[in-house]
Structure 1
């Protein structure tokens, strides 16, 4: 009888441990998702929405005078998703959208004299890698090279020459947004050409931003004179470090410093993730509202970290999965993402951030959903 009871107890303990392990494994699963929540399904819907959308103009009804950076980020995300999902038809649709920029819509191509305009180069560079059409490479390289060329044009500021003389881009502003805008195009130029100088540039720049702007808790103020951790602002840093690190050679002398900054930030974000999986408009403010663009960027950063082995999968896998599952609930029947903070300038006023308009379908929110879908498939 004692032997039988001991055997039953052993089976019970093993079963309990197995169930617990399976539960934990499921919570960290970044491969299998319920119907309607898989990266292929979600990415396809959001990418199709982008293909059908006109060129965006920050919510204004009039067409834009140039392609703006939220559209660039969404275009790049749709192309990344097309690559990772093997959807060549989508790649062709995205190339067809680009074709008029060589001819009838050439005036919409930005002048690469500002980080928000130079990031445009990441799209033709991705198109080159997927199609091998040399026109895309020439255009994309021109943008990446201009960013590290000598200061020129009406946007040159008194400090621009000083940054250039230090081996940084003259477009340096010390705004946290820059660390996606700069690293995206330079990393893409490296991926397209194999020329390591492109990504070395971005790494040197990233270290300067980390040393200058990262706070002890790993997060970033919206500006030195605005001590608030605004979600999307920090999202640009999280996504920028992730984009850089996934291609930065392991022998790069700045890799360790950048990885340290990335991991400190991820640990802090883990602490501030809300119980529903979202992050808030002001990251550390529990009275702030759940915001989707920042959440999408943080989710992308965590997925990328887990997939590449930089982050402990048992710790960060559940957070990344929970965030993705939460984010999907904010996509409406038109494949538009809700609760996206409107374009936001800095202001040393908490209420200013809490009162920002919450937009549906803004490309600031569409883009990171596509980045996440691609990262989950990568």
Structure 2
């Protein structure tokens, strides 16, 4: 990444996948102590964050949870450097959290342009930053609301006996993709579940040990991971784009979501949210096959991450109907930060398991 993409976003857009990639680079910095990796994170965030905390390309008025995700890299730099610009930028992002529109159930709208909708993606984008900021600033009175973001999203998207969660829910039932009785979108989507399980592992890291919401989120995490383990591809230990419909035409093993789920399993084992030989074996199998299925190394020695869904959503223009055909129609790409980031997070976890560094 340092050689191939010295500037994470040449288009000068404040985009969530870049924050995910920087989180991965920072994890490798914590593992190795190599100052080059912290310098890379700082150089790229400083390209956007000015001394007064203003953020190039960021608009609060969009009320887009995606725009909060890079705030985690901002908080990493605040912890590492103490530079006040990062506190000012975090304050600016938190001002969006305070005003973010909500469903009646209490969960944030995913975006202003998607009223009354919760998407599992948004828990990773907004609510982990929300928790970290509250702990940093002593706003522990808001941690109950942080927990509510996770529990209501789970309740609204859980499809029932499978234990899996659908991509999204429209509380108003107005969208044509929404089930008229439940409001849920038509399908389980792997990367949405990947965002969700990573978000739960991360938020547990920041909730105080005595907080009553920890047990509920930890239970949800184990339940969703257990449901995912039941639908993984038995030959590889990886997951399909639509994970519960492996046999359907065009469905494919997808890298970004598989790396996300495996990263959540690895971190959950390290932190004690999961335990047991079955989980250990599932992680080792998935890691072994993911490196075979999804990676290549070119003549320059650069690692490339392949076979990731470029993007998927619901509604919008052109309209995305959430059908199986829709999820199969999105481009499959290489080296998108949505796949590079979770690969780096998982790689750091696996190196730590082998005693080759400390993740703190």
TM-score by length of 2: 0.79
| Structure 2 gap segments, 5+ residues each | 111-115, 170-177, 179-184, 315-320, 353-358
Distance change in 2, residues 1:84/1:200 (3 Å): farther
1:37-78 deviations in whole A, cap 9, x for unaligned?
Answer: xxxxxxxxxx4357525406xxxxxx25x2111112111221
2:58 corresponds in structure 1 to: 110
Gaps of 5+ in 1: 1-46, 57-62, 152-159
Question: How far apart, in 2, do the equivalents of 1:96 and 1:272 lie?
Answer: 41
Structure 2 counterpart of 1:183: 127
Give yes or no for contact 2:49–2:55 (8 Å, CA) kept in 1.
Answer: no
Contact 2:108 2:118 in 1 (8 A): no
Measured in 2, the distance between the counterparts of 1:84 and 1:201 equals 32
Give 1:184 shift.
2.5
Change (3 A) 1:290 1:167: closer
Partner of 2:192: 233
Shift of 1:243: 0.9
Q: 1:248 to 1:94 in 2, by over 3 A?
A: same
Deviations, residues 51-109 of structure 1 (Å, cap 9, x unaligned): 525406xxxxxx25x21111121112212321232222210222122223245996634
The separation in 2 between residues aligned to 1:116 and 1:317, in whole angstroms, is 32
> CA 1:161/1:75 → structure 2, altered by over 3 Å: closer, same or farther?
closer
- The equivalent residue for 1:80 is 27
Indicate conservation of the 8 Å contact 1:83/1:130, yes or no: no
Structure with more contact order per residue of length (Cα contacts < 8 Å, sep ≥ 6): 1
Q: 1:222 Cα deviation (Å)?
A: 2.0
- Aligned residue pairs, count: 314
The structure where helix makes up a greater share of residues is 1
Residue in structure 1 matched with residue 74 of structure 2 by the alignment: 124
Q: What RMSD, in angstroms, separates the aligned Cα atoms of the two structures?
A: 2.6
Match of 2:119, SS state, is coil
What TM-score, normalized to structure 1? 0.75
- Please, which of 267, 291, 295 is the counterpart of residue 328 of structure 1? 291
Spell out, residue by residue over 1:266-302, the C-alpha distance to the aligned partner (whole angstroms, 9 max, x if none): 1111111212121110111123210001101101111
Residues 238, 363 of structure 1: alpha-carbon distance in 2 compared, 3 angstrom cutoff:
same
Q: CA 1:305–1:297 in structure 2 vs 1: closer, same or farther (change >3 Å)?
A: same
Structure 1 residue 256, shift from structure 2 partner: 1.8
How much has 1:340 moved relative to structure 2? Answer: 0.5
Shift, 1:342, TM fit: 1.6
Q: 2:312 is matched with which residue?
A: 344
Residue 320 of structure 1 deviates from its aligned partner by 1.4
Matching residue of 2:97: 147
1:17 is aligned to none
